[in-house]
Amino acid sequence: MGVCAPLTSDLQNATKSELCSAFIIVRSAQMANIKSSDQFFPESHLPQIDDFMPFKQVYATLHRENRSGFFLRRAGQPSRYVNAIDLAGDLVKPKVTISDLEELSTTPIGQVLEKPGFDKFSVPIGMTVEADANTTSLTEASAKIFRVQEFGRGVGWFLHSTFLNTTTGRPVWLCSNPHVQHENADFDSGRCSRCPYSLSGVKQQKP
């Protein structure tokens, strides 16, 4: 905990005790350890999905687990974190043909993410950090995802604030029916489960 510096003439509108309290609050927030941060998530909170899993199965998993992001696993190890809701929004939109949607449904998610320009929807996992470390250096670092360990064992993840929106909320697919736009839990082959129209969008459904 820090010691308050002497007051200057520019701070006459606040009392010394008020400024000291504000300093202590800021200093305490800076020194907060990782596991007490709202950017820390236990190992089991976010799904890990193999790169060979088909697109439709990936999103069925996310819908079931009420998540909008996941760790892409290559050779059995998580390698990147994927913003799945933004990825889906870029791929499934009006005027995409049903044949393209059908092909997408069975394409392995690893191949989807290898398409030119699609690296913007994921970030590599940064260094491993200790659970009792403070968060200051992590929030300022360029890497956005860190593995957190405690006593030599992985216990969770520290996510950059830009990814917090993906830690809850399931993807829901919308069809292109001009009269009634149906909501779909599963992507299936890119067609609506309630009418003959194709899917044309996605939204994030929060609990």
Residue 11: pLDDT band by 50, 70, 90 thresholds?
Answer: very low
Range scoring the smallest mean pLDDT among 31-35, 71-75, 191-195: 31-35
Share of the chain above pLDDT 70, in %: 82
SS3 sequence of the chain: CCCCCCCCHHHCCCCHHHHHHHHHHHHHHHCCEHHHCCCEEECCCCCEEECCCEHHHHHHHHHHHCCCEEEEEECCEEEEEEEHHHHHHHHCCCCCCHHHHHHHHHCEHHHHHCCCCHHHHEEEEEEEEECCCECHHHHHCCCCEEEEEECCEEEEEEECHHHHHHHCCEEEEEECCCCCCCEECCCCCCECCCCCCEEEEEEEECC
Name the more confident of 154 and 32.
154
pLDDT band at residue 143 under the 50/70/90 scheme: low
Q: What pLDDT, in 10s, does the model give residues 83-105?
A: 999 999 999 999 999 999 999 99
- Residue 14 has what pLDDT? 53
Of 56-65, 102-111, 130-139, 182-191, least confident by mean pLDDT is 130-139
Q: What pLDDT digit, counting tens, does each position of 110-131 carry?
A: 999 999 999 999 999 988 999 9
* pLDDT band with cut points at 50, 70 and 90 for residue 17: low
Please provide the average confidence, as pLDDT, over all residues in the chain. Answer: 87
| Domains, the chain, with CATH or none | 37-205 (3.10.580.10)
pLDDT at residue 29, as a whole number: 41
